[in-house]
């Protein structure tokens, strides 16, 4: 019932290449004026260091950025996607053309910093619900154009992916219910499309709506902005008939208590929307290290 994305190595390379090509076009434009100051034949060695503890994520994107600029570059990883790194640890080394590495630097680090931030934050939230049945789930609140990259990062942090977009699953929210005329009406229409959807989920705001949704055959229900006693009552009413998901205003401090209600999933937009980039830097052996 729940979505499984293709994050195999070939699929990741294809995804990362498309993301990186857009990013390089944005950054390089007609050419890297500053890198052109360097002898085009010069070779160099670069190290990327973690400046803080993190769950690393973004290998395919770094590889794509470097190899697009220097197809002959040699890249050695010391920390891999989903693994933890510590402050001052060298996570990868690159040997290649100096001009090319200077051009690739910012794009490579941007992806590494963003995706590691998502993976690290997800891992923190996953740890907070350890020992319960609850899974930490992402949402569509992603950076435009980078949805699959961020969903991959959630995976690397131990989280679970929700739907990709509007096309692969049905998530009925309050405005859909209002526009359709009620829960029975919208659920009836949804059932007609169930063969086209990976899953059908309906959002409810009250226990009465939950009972109504269950009576209409709902197998996945999103409990929106309910307080703890109401959530506990919802779990009792549901009696494991449907997958229950909590959403809305979830904080890290709230997570243990929310998970202990017995819900199956807790979706958190902040995993991909409110992230602080992980700090990495690239250092060259024989050149100034960082671009502005």
Annotated catalytic, 203? Answer: yes
Q: What is the CATH number of the domain that holds 96?
A: 3.90.1170.20
Annotated catalytic, 141? Answer: yes
Catalytic residue among 32, 70, 203, 245: 203
Catalytic residue among 141, 147, 219, 283: 141
Annotated catalytic, 273? Answer: no
Whether residues 144 and 227 fall in one domain: yes
Residues near 35 by beta carbon (within 8 Å), at least 6 away in sequence: 99, 100, 102, 103
DSSP character string of 236-256: HHHTTSSEEEEESS--TTTHH
Q: Is the dihedral of CA 153, 156, 157, 160 positive or negative?
A: positive
What token pair was written down for 13? 């390379």
Q: What is the pLDDT of residues 213-239, one digit of tens each?
A: 999 999 999 999 999 999 999 999 999
Whether residues 250 and 134 fall in one domain: yes
The predicted model scores a pTM of: 0.94
Task: Give the residue numbers spanning the domain of 151.
Answer: 126-273
Catalytic residue among 13, 47, 173, 219: 173
Alpha-carbon dihedral of residues 212, 218, 219, 224, nearest 10 degrees? Answer: -60
pLDDT for 122 = 98
pLDDT for 6 = 83
Whether residues 85 and 195 fall in one domain: no
Number of structural domains found in the chain: 2
* Residue labelled with tokens 């670069």: 46
Let me know if residue 107 belongs to a domain: yes
Q: What is the pLDDT of residues 167-186, one digit of tens each?
A: 999 999 999 999 999 999 99
Catalytic residue among 27, 224, 254, 279: 224
């Amino acid at each position: 019932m729940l979505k499984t994305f293709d994050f195999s190595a070939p699929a990741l390379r294809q995804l990362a290449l498309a993301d990186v090509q857009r990013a390089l076009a944005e950054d390089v434009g007609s050419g890297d004026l500053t890198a052109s100051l360097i002898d085009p034949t010069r070779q160099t060695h670069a190290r990327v260091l973690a400046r803080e503890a993190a769950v690393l994520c973004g290998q395919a994107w770094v590889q794509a950025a470097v190899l697009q600029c220097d197809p002959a570059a040699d890249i050695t990883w010391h920390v891999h996607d989903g693994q933890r790194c510590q402050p001052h640890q060298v996570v990868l080394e690159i040997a290649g053309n100096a001009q090319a590495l200077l051009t690739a630097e910012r794009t490579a680090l941007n992806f590494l910093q963003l995706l590691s931030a998502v993976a690290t934050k997800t891992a923190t939230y996953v740890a907070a619900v350890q020992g319960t049945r609850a899974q930490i789930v992402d949402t569509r609140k992603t950076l435009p154009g980078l949805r699959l990259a961020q969903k991959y990062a959630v995976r690397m942090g131990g989280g679970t992916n929700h739907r990709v977009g509007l096309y692969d699953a049905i998530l009925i929210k309050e405005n859909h219910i209002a526009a359709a005329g009620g829960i029975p009406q919208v659920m009836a229409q949804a059932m007609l499309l169930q063969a086209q959807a990976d899953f059908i989920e309906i959002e409810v705001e009250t226990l009465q709506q939950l009972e109504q949704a269950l009576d209409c055959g709902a197998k996945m229900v999103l409990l929106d902005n309910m307080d703890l006693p109401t959530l506990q009552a919802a779990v009792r009413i549901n009696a494991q008939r449907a997958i229950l998901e909590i959403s809305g205003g979830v904080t890290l401090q709230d997570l243990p208590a929310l998970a202990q209600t017995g819900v199956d999933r807790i979706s958190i937009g902040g995993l991909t929307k409110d992230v602080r980039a992980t700090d990495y830097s690239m250092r060259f052996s024989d050149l100034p290290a960082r671009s502005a």
